[in-house]
């Protein structure tokens, strides 16, 4: 596939070799245009043009559903990943003595909401990684008869380890354990098929690999759990007749829409929708292939220059995140030198984190390595 047309949609390339999509991604031109169009429309018409944008939200919901192979009614919009995690953590039917299993090196947003359940008698069971890998055998060993939830990231934020969601989902299904996935470091690059993979809920803000703005993301609740999770954030738009403002009729929507209690971030959702269209038109499988090719090239070239690759590079464990150790320089110094030279990387866990997207090029990778 010729990626030049895709690359032309990213103004960031004029000034930066940008390898920090695991943090906050640059917006592509279509997302910027969507934000401008929304703002101009509201400036000209206010509430008189709202229906146009409500219709656009429905279109973006369908795009998000297509991305994860779900039904649109099972997808809801989240203001951030934390909200989607809290929907499950706060709404789950816990009994004192229950426990949740998670990765010890998990991103804080996927630890604190579960730790916050201590007052309800819920135990958190952290599973340490083995180097860069989170071993499914260790996860299995951490579970017992009181395990109610397993929560993992599709891709771990610091190491870049890509969890085997199919295997973990089957483990949870066999044990009757609810399976939650923080998908923020995978969606947009790695396909997730909710028809095939037994995930009960997931969430991902759109500002990383989905190439959208902060504050608009995707959540999913498997239909069989909708009535079993106590809804949080209930509001006027959680019910079946949300526009019946003078009639109180407290019947919740029979799907994930009940978690959209109030006004949505329509500009953010609209911009994320433009980025979804860009990604889906390229093909997520093609995006995955391109990102893996780029990270393979990065690892090969970095190793030749004396760097150590911390991330697992086994086939199914590769992701868009590569964690590297420089032969002589600390990671914060590498990051500082790179920023001064117009190269965006990051520092996580005392290592250099490099996270290219499909529009990046091998020449940009060489530019990064030349700086250090």
pLDDT (tens digit per residue) in 230-242: 999 999 999 999 9
pLDDT at 343 over 90: yes
pLDDT at 64 over 90: yes
Mean pLDDT of 169-178: 98
Give me the phi and psi of 153, to 5 degrees please.
Answer: -90, 140
CA nearest neighbour of 323 among 344, 290, 300, 299: 299
Give me the phi and psi of 257, to 5 degrees please.
Answer: -60, -20
The confidence band for 1, taking pLDDT boundaries of 50, 70 and 90, is: confident
Sequence spans of domains, the chain: 3-19+284-371, 36-280
Mean pLDDT of 38-60: 97
* Mean pLDDT over each residue of the chain, to the nearest integer: 98
Under a CB-based contact definition with an 8 Å cutoff, are residues 143 and 338 in contact? no
Mean pLDDT of 352-361: 99
Mean pLDDT of 292-309: 98
SS3 173: helix
The confidence band for 289, taking pLDDT boundaries of 50, 70 and 90, is: very high
Alpha carbon of 223 to those of 253, 256, 332, 355: distances in Å?
Answer: 12, 8, 45, 34
Cα separation of the two ends of the chain: 31
Give the domain 3-19+284-371 fold.
3.90.1150
pLDDT at 372 over 90: no
Give the domain 36-280 fold.
3.40.640
Give me the phi and psi of 220, to 5 degrees please.
Answer: -145, 135
Mean pLDDT of 122-128: 99
CA nearest neighbour of 88 among 57, 69, 109: 109
Mean pLDDT of 116-142: 98
Q: What pLDDT is attached to residue 291?
A: 99
pLDDT at 9 over 90: yes
Percent of the chain's residues with pLDDT above 70: 100
Which contiguous run of DSSP H or E holds residue 122? Answer: none
Q: What pLDDT is attached to residue 17?
A: 99
Under a CB-based contact definition with an 8 Å cutoff, are residues 278 and 30 in contact? yes
| Same CATH fold assignment for domains 3-19+284-371 and 36-280 | no
pLDDT at 74 over 90: yes
pLDDT at 160 over 90: yes
- Beta-carbon count within 10 A of 145 CB: 7
Q: CA 123, CA 116: separation in Å to the nearest integer?
A: 10
CA nearest neighbour of 210 among 21, 13, 65, 8: 21
Phi-psi region of 25 (alpha: psi -120 to 50; beta: other; left: phi over 0): beta
Q: What pLDDT is attached to residue 339?
A: 97
186-202 residue pLDDT tens: 999 999 999 999 999 99
């Amino acid at each position: 596939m010729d990626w030049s047309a895709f690359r032309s949609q990213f103004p960031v390339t004029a000034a930066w070799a940008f390898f920090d999509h695991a943090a906050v991604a640059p917006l592509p031109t279509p997302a910027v245009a969507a934000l401008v169009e929304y703002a101009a429309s509201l400036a000209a018409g206010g509430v008189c043009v709202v229906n146009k944008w409500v219709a656009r939200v429905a279109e973006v919901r369908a795009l998000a559903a297509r991305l994860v192979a779900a039904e649109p009614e099972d997808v809801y919009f989240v203001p951030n990943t934390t909200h989607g995690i809290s929907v499950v953590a706060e709404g789950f039917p816990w009994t004192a003595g229950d426990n949740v299993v998670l990765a010890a090196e998990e991103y804080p947003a996927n630890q604190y909401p579960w730790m916050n359940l201590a007052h309800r008698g819920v135990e958190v069971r952290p599973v340490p990684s083995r180097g860069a890998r989170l071993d499914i055998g260790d996860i299995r060993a951490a579970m017992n008869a009181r395990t109610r939830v397993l929560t993992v990231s599709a891709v771990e934020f610091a190491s870049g380890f890509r969890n085997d969601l199919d295997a973990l989902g089957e483990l949870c299904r066999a044990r009757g354990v609810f399976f939650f996935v923080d998908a923020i470091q995978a969606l947009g690059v790695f396909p997730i098929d909710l028809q095939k993979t037994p995930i009960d809920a997931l969430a991902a803000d759109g500002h990383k690999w989905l190439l959208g703005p902060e504050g608009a993301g995707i959540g999913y609740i498997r239909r069989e759990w909708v009535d079993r999770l106590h809804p949080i954030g209930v509001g006027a738009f959680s019910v079946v007749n949300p526009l019946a403002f003078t009639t109180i009729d407290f019947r919740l929507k029979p799907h994930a829409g009940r978690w959209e209690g109030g006004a949505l971030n329509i500009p953010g959702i609209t911009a994320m929708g433009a980025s979804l269209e860009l990604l889906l038109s390229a093909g997520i499988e093609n995006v995955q292939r391109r990102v893996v090719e780029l990270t393979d090239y990065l690892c090969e070239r970095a190793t030749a220059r004396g760097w150590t690759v911390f991330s697992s590079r086994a086939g199914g464990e590769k992701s868009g995140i590569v964690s590297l150790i420089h032969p002589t320089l600390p990671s914060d110094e590498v990051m500082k030198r790179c920023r001064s030279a117009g190269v965006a990387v990051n520092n996580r866990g005392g290592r250099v984190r490099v996270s290219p997207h499909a529009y990046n090029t091998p020449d940009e990778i060489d530019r990064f390595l030349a700086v250090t």
